[in-house]
Amino acid sequence: MAIFSDLSPDLIMELWERILHPDDIDSFALVSRRTHATGRIFLDENRRLKAQYSSVQTYYSRSCCNKPWGDLLRDILLDSRRGAYVQHLDIQSSHSHWQQGYGSYRHPGNCHHDRYSETDMLLFKNAIRSSTLRSRIDKWRLKQTLARGDEDPIIAILLTMLPELRSLKIDNVALKGTFQTFQHIADSGSTGLLSKLEEVEISSVKHEIKGVSVFQPFAVFPSMKRLSCNNFQLDWSVGAAETRMPLQTSNISELTISGSGLDSKNLFGILGAFKALKRFTFVRPANCRGFDPFWIRAALLAYARHSLEYLVFKSPDDVEGERCVGSLQDFEKLRILKIDHSSLVDPQRCETGRTAACQHRVADYLPRTLEELVLCIDRSELHDQVYDSMRSLLKAKTNGHLSFLNKLEFRLWFLGPRYDDVEPLLSEKLDDGLVNSWKTTCEQKGIILTVSRCDALNTCDAK
């Protein structure tokens, strides 16, 4: 019976030529020293392609010769194997028009670039024409957009040719066709397209997005774990707001919504799609009307009561009279909480700030499973809030209500001209001896106490 070591070099070389996946190339090289030696040329090429294509990113550039997305798509169209090497895509710039001929068209944040060659344009148009995800009218629109020099169609087609893509970041660009591609992939039910995508971060998108449409397609991808949506406007008109995502269909376990104009009540239509949400970060945008933190907690309790382990909640201090989040005791696995003191405890109910009814209020709102607590505290009520919070938390640690608490941090929220130094404010508002005494007491009870700065540029949300 013939064994692998009996194969001729020509047969082994033919096997090498049939291996296309990068991981398979590395594995096949481990079969034997002879196989490794025979495939040296393939291994060298594999390492070169990994170095060149595994992580692709662009930043804003005014260079007319800088056309990374067109170059990448051309490379993949000429040799589809290259697409299997791309695992990380970071889109922080895109061109919107040619250097000449469309000089009157300017999109904020984007720049013009040199025209593609006729050969490249033919490649791109053929790729659009052969797409099975697009209708005839969509293909026509993509080709028209491409003809004026916009890179949106190139990125849209490129995403359908990256089977190993793991993470995607889109920042400060206008890619309407690209977002439509995500939806088309989700609607098609294809198991091969973006099936390994795990992490998506979308920031400062330059066109308005309808309701849940930014969440819906990513929720369908089977490998998705983390979705972050930062600083862009969502359209919650009547038609868009009525859209709800299918219940218990998504594997996403970490969701960040920061400054994206999400109506708190519409969270019910989003959070219900996640099977087991473990980490949730919510930063309310400034000047947001109709916002109610109570509904954030209600939506999380409805769909993540049994799974949520990490919660960040940040509400800018520009709205008076809004309700607090409410008690978090019903979360069964919550271990890490980062929140504004004013969102957790209603200062209106504690006019003196130090009444017997308020001294233990902070701990009464917290779950027994809590291990780490970060409280952002407003400078205007620094002394009362820190003093009452410390007494409340130390008592809860002693009586066993917060027996797992091992890390406590006060982040001092500075508003106004004086926030250059933490120490003068601590000397003015809190006695240094008292602070040191708290640190000693916390250490004795197994709690690490720290005090840090948090200003308008460092909004306490994710750090």
Where is pLDDT greater, at 324 or 107? Answer: 324
At 325-365, the pLDDT tens digits run 889 999 999 999 999 887 887 655 544 444 444 444 789 89
pLDDT exceeds cutoff 80 at 180 = yes
Quick check: is 245 in a domain?
no
Considering only CA atoms, which of 297, 313, 312, 306 is closest in space to residue 333?
A: 306
Quick check: is 135 in a domain?
yes
Q: Are residues 31 and 135 in the same domain?
A: no
At 118-174, the pLDDT tens digits run 999 999 999 999 988 888 888 898 899 888 888 888 988 999 999 999 999 988 777
Q: Distance between CA 403 and CA 396 in Å, rounded?
A: 8
Q: Are residues 42 and 61 in the same domain?
A: no
Counting beta carbons within 10 angstroms of the beta carbon of residue 232, is it exposed (0 to 12), middle (13 to 18) or buried (19 or more)? buried
Q: Token pair 């949506």 is at which residue?
A: 229
Confidence at residue 416, expressed as pLDDT on a 0 to 100 scale: 44
From residue 342, how far is each of 270, 326, 349, 350 by CA, in Å?
26, 11, 11, 11
Quick check: is 42 in a domain?
yes
Q: Are residues 155 and 125 in the same domain?
A: yes
Q: 3-class SS at 160?
A: helix
Q: Are residues 176 and 112 in the same domain?
A: yes
Percent of the chain with pLDDT over 70: 72
Confidence at residue 279, expressed as pLDDT on a 0 to 100 scale: 97
Q: Token pair 């293909």 is at which residue?
A: 139
Q: Is the dihedral of CA 271, 274, 278, 282 positive or negative?
A: negative
Q: What are 235's strand-pairing partners? A: 210
Q: Distance between CA 371 and CA 111 in Å, rounded?
A: 48
Give the pLDDT mean for 440-457.
80
Strands (DSSP E) contained in 360-406 are 372-378
Per the structure, the count of domains in the chain is 3
Q: Distance between CA 261 and CA 234 in Å, rounded?
A: 6
Where is pLDDT greater, at 381 or 73? Answer: 73
Which are the contacts of 214, defined by CB distance < 8 A and separation ≥ 6?
Answer: 179, 202, 229, 234
Give the pLDDT mean for 252-270.
82
Give the pLDDT mean for 423-431.
49
Q: 3-class SS at 268?
A: helix
From residue 113, how far is each of 257, 286, 405 by CA, in Å?
34, 36, 56
Give the pLDDT mean for 205-226.
79
Q: Distance between CA 168 and CA 160 in Å, rounded?
A: 13
Quick check: is 325 in a domain?
no
DSSP 130: T
pLDDT band at 432, cuts 50/70/90? low
Confidence at residue 211, expressed as pLDDT on a 0 to 100 scale: 62
Element (H, E) at 218: helix 216-220
* Range of weakest confidence among 11-25, 411-425, 440-454: 411-425
Q: Which domain holds residue 93?
A: 54-207
Q: Are residues 29 and 59 in the same domain?
A: no
The domain boundary residue, chosen from 166, 186, 207: 207
Quick check: is 199 in a domain?
yes
Q: Are residues 18 and 70 in the same domain?
A: no
Which range, 124-138, 172-186, 230-244, is most confident?
A: 124-138
Q: Distance between CA 176 and CA 300 in Å, rounded?
A: 30
CATH of the domain at 385: 3.40.50
pLDDT band at 423, cuts 50/70/90? very low
Q: Distance between CA 205 and CA 372 in Å, rounded?
A: 33
From residue 200, how far is each of 91, 93, 312, 423 by CA, in Å?
11, 16, 19, 39
Q: Are residues 447 and 413 in the same domain?
A: yes
Confidence at residue 206, expressed as pLDDT on a 0 to 100 scale: 65
Confidence at residue 418, expressed as pLDDT on a 0 to 100 scale: 43
HEC assignment per residue over 405-462: CCEEEEEEECCCCCCCCHHHHHHHHCCHHHHHHHHHHHHHCCCEEEEEEECCCCCCCC
Angle, helix 176-188 to helix 136-147, in steps of 10 degrees: 150
Quick check: is 340 in a domain?
yes
Considering only CA atoms, which of 167, 170, 133, 144 is closest in space to residue 155?
A: 170
Are 225 and 254 contacting, i.e. CB atoms less than 8 angstroms apart?
yes
Q: Dihedrals φ, ψ of 368, to 5°? A: -65, -20
Q: Are residues 38 and 121 in the same domain?
A: no
Q: Are residues 42 and 58 in the same domain?
A: no
Q: Are residues 94 and 188 in the same domain?
A: yes
Q: Are residues 67 and 95 in the same domain?
A: yes
The domain boundary residue, chosen from 207, 232, 254: 207
Counting beta carbons within 10 angstroms of the beta carbon of residue 347, is it exposed (0 to 12), middle (13 to 18) or buried (19 or more)? middle
Q: 3-class SS at 252?
A: coil
Quick check: is 391 in a domain?
yes
Token pair for 442: 């916390």
Quick check: is 328 in a domain?
no
Q: Are residues 63 and 101 in the same domain?
A: yes
The domain boundary residue, chosen from 184, 207, 230: 207
